[in-house]
């Protein structure tokens, strides 16, 4: 089922932070009313301590059971938005190189990497699906450490999920083979 992203130009209200568990790590979702303003990975010990407690799960990623609409605060430069829009087109279980993405939008690989590094919606806008020609590349501006472990876990998780879905489709299951993202701009 698709996740429909609705871009909003501004939002008001007090910012609230919610921790959500994913299969690879905990994330912090920052919201102002019903608009997500950014998403961060949460590597704190506090996140680990709540692992088996009352923490919510991110039940719509990577495969929502029904179509959902998410409002995201529009951010970034024209170039960053162009890169982020292309990231939304990379299918679950697939990767694309920085240079191939750059060629698609008439840019340079380094500029694509910089836009990926500044992605405010980690996980939803799948910058982890962009890799270097000769390896993993970076993730969130890092080339080593926790962020790179998250990128690797995400790619492995999505590849395994996609492979299971493909096998189910071959054997007659009716499950959808890929998550679809649609992007809309609110008025």
Cα dihedral 132/138/139/142 (nearest 10): -170
- Look up 127 and say whether it is catalytic: yes
H helix or E strand, kind and range, residue 96? strand 96-97
Quick count: other Cβ atoms within 10 Å of Cβ 26?
20
Tell me which DSSP letter residue 91 carries.
Answer: P
Catalytic site residue from 11, 25, 127, 169 = 127
H helix or E strand, kind and range, residue 27? strand 26-32
The label of the residue with tokens 């998550």 reads 179
H helix or E strand, kind and range, residue 56? strand 56-57
The label of the residue with tokens 């009716």 reads 174
Q: Are strands 26-32 and 35-42 parallel, antiparallel or unpaired?
A: antiparallel
Q: Active-site residue numbers?
A: 127
């Amino acid at each position: 089922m698709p996740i429909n992203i609705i871009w909003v130009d501004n939002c008001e209200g007090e910012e609230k932070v919610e921790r959500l568990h994913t299969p690879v790590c905990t994330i912090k979702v920052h919201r102002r009313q019903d608009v997500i303003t950014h998403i961060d990975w949460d590597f704190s010990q506090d996140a680990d301590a709540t692992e088996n407690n009352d923490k919510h799960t991110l039940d719509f990623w990577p495969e929502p059971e029904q179509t959902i609409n998410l409002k995201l605060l529009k951010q970034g430069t024209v170039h960053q938005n162009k890169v982020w829009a292309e990231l939304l087109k990379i299918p679950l279980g697939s990767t694309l190189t920085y240079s191939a993405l750059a060629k698609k939008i008439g840019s340079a690989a380094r500029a694509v990497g910089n836009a990926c590094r500044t992605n405010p919606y980690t996980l939803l806008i799948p910058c982890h699906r962009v890799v270097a020609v000769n390896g993993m590349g970076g993730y969130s501006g890092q080339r080593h450490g926790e962020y790179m472990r998250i990128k690797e876990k995400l790619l492995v998780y999505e590849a395994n999920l996609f492979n299971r879905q493909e096998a189910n489709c071959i054997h007659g299951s009716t499950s959808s083979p890929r998550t679809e993202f649609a992007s809309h701009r609110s008025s």
